[in-house]
Amino acid sequence: MIQAFLNRFALVEFTDTQLGAFLGVFSFLLAISIWARRSQYDVKLVSGPSGGHWLWGHEREIFLTSAGQKFSEWFNTYGQVVRYKGAFFHPDFLVVSDPRFIHHMLTENPYNYVKSPVFRPLVDRLLGHGLVWAEGDEHKQQRKVLNPAFSPANVRDMAPSVFESAAKLRTSLEQAILKSGGELETNVMKWTATATLDIIGKVGFNHDFEQGKSQDAKDIQKAWTDQVNAGMTTAAFYAQIFLRTFPFILSIPVEAIQKQGDIKNVINRLANKFISEKGELVENEKTEKAKNLLAIMMKANSSGVNKMSTQQMIDHITTFVVVGHETTAGSLNMTLLELAQHPDKQQRLREEIISLGHEPTYEDLTAPERLPYLDAVVKEGLRLHPPGAYMDRVAVKDDIVPLLHPITTPSGEKLASLKIKAGQVIQIPNISINRVDAVWKDGGNFRPERWVEQGGLPPRAEMQGGWSNIMSFSEGPRLCIGYRLALLEYKCLLSLLIRYFVFHDANVTIETKFSATMQPRVVGSEDEGAQLPLRITLAED
């Protein structure tokens, strides 16, 4: 057959001998080509887990375990750069925790490593074309417009709204506990998400979500709950795997995929209302000093310098509402669980807050030396349970990436850098990076004392380049734009909750899954979706 094909399209006919020689030379040249191509890149020289399913690689194994668990195991076994097998014949992935590698990507060359072409359409469906979606010059422009909304001075001006929402949470929770006879077992996610959504409404758009009682708040919370619960299903795992090969899957009626658009649609309707109802007020002289997100976007539009379309403003509002309330609440929830499981640490924190002699002020919450153990608990909670637990990047061009920790190849050679091919997918699991035992010694343990005791932290060179030298808010130009506000919310809500309430373990096993953000759920009750039950009583005066 091969001979007939060649004879048909060649100018001369091939004899059996000539054909054999041709195929021999061709095979030799092909082998040389493949060898040369592979020798130019070092991915195949990186160690990692062996085996892997013939179709699902190691990805199903990752999905079936608690979020970050496999990556943590691999970092502790193979080092800080690991290769593993992708599903559905996808090229091997690199997953990294090496600080120099990450700094090279996220800080020194942030726009040469972009979000996956599979991930961006999903972000579009969830949030639109806001900061999370944008790349390159578009990201720089968006960041320039929005940075003033999250400046230190502006976040300070947001503090009264944060304190007001926290006080409302205290009142509501006290009433619920008293109504339940002095002890309440509840899903704390509902309480914290209500408070953070209230805060975002006030500081972002001067909108009152009425402690979750408004129809707008109910619609947002329902759409988000449906989204994350669908995203934890096996169907969601398979859909995302197939999406890499068949992008048209985005349009088929798979619940886990279609639910991703619901939250965006709900907030888009609300954002349109914000813009139409409040746009004129923002531009009015009486609101000249307004500094919330909507006001800043409107002012930018009126200046004509950084003008945005209505849809761009809607996308920013959607991003701020979803990312701004859900991520902070998620980390806070898991910190409350840690404190419930470590009552001695919870009591130490309570005593420090009470020792102030007054309700914590903005200055108390932002100056670490005033409440050092609160600061330590927050850092430890964010280390173990980061708001952004996972991200991936794709190299847009060939690169040589330096390593802090050289890797050893199968032949015994030490490599202080890696040759990366354009198109290589590199995964950055923040939740696992923050727990590497080679860096933190007891990386999976909740031990706030490490942040306040002498010699408790790893050497600076071993740590990451982000806030507090951990990866919880990422690093570089894409470091979370709202991290100052997130920290203020986190510290304010945590200090109030621990001062006035005691949190007890509900004696259930909690695992975390990645579905847009980190989601806790009860082992054995997976069908009930994301939840974090705790028992709560009133603290003694």
pLDDT (0 to 100) of residue 356: 96
List C-alpha distances in Å: 22 to 6, 363, 430.
Answer: 11, 79, 52
Of 214-228, 332-346, 349-363, 440-454, the least confident: 214-228
Residue range 49-538, CATH number: 1.10.630.10
CA–CA separation, 470 and 461 (whole Å): 12
Q: What is the DSSP string of 17-80?
A: HHHHHHHHHHHHHHHHHHHHHHHT--GGGS------BTTTBTHHHHHHSSTTHHHHHHHHHH-S
Task: Evaluate if residue 255 carries a pLDDT over 80.
Answer: no
470 pLDDT more than 50 = yes
Phi/psi-derived region of residue 181, left when phi > 0, alpha when psi is between -120 and 50, beta in every other case: left
Distance from C-alpha of 533 to C-alpha of 12, rounded to nearest angstrom: 78
Token pair for 493: 């809500």
Are 7 and 14 spatial neighbours (Cβ–Cβ below 8 Å)? yes
pLDDT for 453 beyond 90: yes
Tell me, what's the pLDDT at 405? 97
In this prediction, residue 30 carries a pLDDT of 41
Q: Looking at residues 79-97, what average pLDDT do you find?
A: 96
> For 151-160, 224-233, 275-284, 323-332, which range has the lowest pLDDT when averaged over its residues?
275-284
If you average pLDDT over residues 497-504, what whole number do you get?
99
Which helix (H) or strand (E) segment holds residue 83: the answer is strand 81-84
**What is the mean pLDDT of the segment spanning 115-130?**
86
Highest-confidence range of 121-135, 173-187, 387-401, by mean pLDDT?
173-187
Q: Is residue 386 within 8 Å of residue 431, measured between CB atoms?
A: yes
Q: Which of 379, 170, 202 is nearest to 294 (CA)?
A: 202
Average per-residue pLDDT for the chain: 88
User: According to the model, what pLDDT value does residue 241 have?
Assistant: 87
Side chain identity at residue 36, one-letter code: A
Alpha-carbon distances of 360 from 33, 47, 62, 433, rounded to whole Å: 67, 49, 42, 32
Nearest residue to 336 (alpha-carbon basis) of 536, 158, 37: 536
Over residues 284-304, the mean pLDDT reads 68
pLDDT of residue 541: 75
Residue 411 vs residues 10, 46, 48: alpha-carbon distances, Å: 44, 11, 15
Percent with pLDDT over 70 in the chain: 87
Helices (H) and strands (E) in the chain, counts: 21, 12
Q: Which amino acid is at 363?
A: E
Tell me, what's the pLDDT at 279? 63
Summarised one tens digit per residue, pLDDT across range 8-50 is 333 344 455 554 554 455 444 444 444 434 444 789 999 999 9
What is the reported pLDDT for 33?
41
Rounded distance between C-alpha atoms, residue 173 and residue 184, angstroms: 9
Question: pLDDT category, 408, cuts 50, 70, 90?
Answer: very high
DSSP letters of 284-353? SGGGTT--SHHHHHHHHHHHSSS---HHHHHHHHHHHHHHHHHHHHHHHHHHHHHHHH-HHHHHHHHHHH
| For residue 285, pLDDT beyond 50 | no
Checking if the pLDDT of 294 tops 90, the result is: no
State the pLDDT confidence band at 244, using cuts at 50, 70 and 90. confident
With tokens 């579905």, the residue in question is 515
311-353 pLDDT tens trace? 888 999 999 998 888 999 999 999 999 999 999 999 999 999 9
User: Is 492 assigned to a binding site?
Assistant: no
Q: What are the helix (H) ranges across 180-248?
A: 188-205, 215-231, 234-245
